Amino acid sequence: MPRRAPIVIAGTVAGLAAVLSFKPHESGVSKAVASASTPATSDGHDTFTGSAIATRYGTAQVEVTVVNGKITNIVAVALPDDEPKSVAISTQAEPTLKQEALTKQTAAIDAVTGATITSAGYEASLQSALDRAGFTAADGARGSSTIPNVEKHGDHGGFDGDDGAPPGFAPPRG
């Protein structure tokens, strides 16, 4: 048993060093610059790129395809990706945001829990693209998100406590 300790410690140190030296690759998606609108065909099928919306964690920008007055596809051209956690949050939120917009046929969508800033940027860019397309939702709903003005925290949290818990929260005592 004592012979294993140096091997385990060496492996732990090597693994920790590898994790700490990890540098995520640059995402080409967030660097993309798209035109205001790009008609795809002349049969009522057009693709429009929304404004690039700056957020605390990176840029959000979408491209929407409208066919015969219906939103048929949304592609995230850029999503917040300033930090690895931003990438994880955006990647997890994007399918939900896309599906809700396609289902509701509007940019007036609900924010994804834990991805408020990504959701707001997505919604604002989508509304911009729909405006460029001259698209109006059947019920007249419009995306109206404003980007939250929050301090940037390394943990993406917003609580004042240094333990990451909401003010007034006390964990149960066991």
CATH code: domain 37-133 is 3.90.1010.20
Q: What is the DSSP annotation of 110-159?
A: PPPTT-HHHHHHHHHHHHHHHHHHT---TT--------------TTS---
Q: What is the pLDDT of residue 3?
A: 73
Q: What is the pLDDT of residue 36?
A: 40
Q: What is the pLDDT of residue 106?
A: 96
- Of 4-18, 61-75, 127-141, the poorest mean pLDDT is in 4-18
pLDDT band at 26 (very low <50, low <70, confident <90, very high): very low
Percent of the chain with pLDDT over 70: 63
Query: Which residues have a Cβ under 8 Å from the Cβ of 22 and sit 6 or more positions away?
Result: none
Asked if residue 93 has pLDDT above 60, the reply is yes
pLDDT band at 163 (very low <50, low <70, confident <90, very high): very low
pLDDT band at 153 (very low <50, low <70, confident <90, very high): low
Asked if residue 157 has pLDDT above 90, the reply is no
State mean pLDDT over 27-38.
38
Integer Cα distance of 97 and 107 in angstroms: 9
Structural domain boundaries of the chain?
Answer: 37-133
Asked if residue 37 has pLDDT above 50, the reply is no
Asked if residue 18 has pLDDT above 90, the reply is no
Q: What is the pLDDT of residue 19?
A: 55
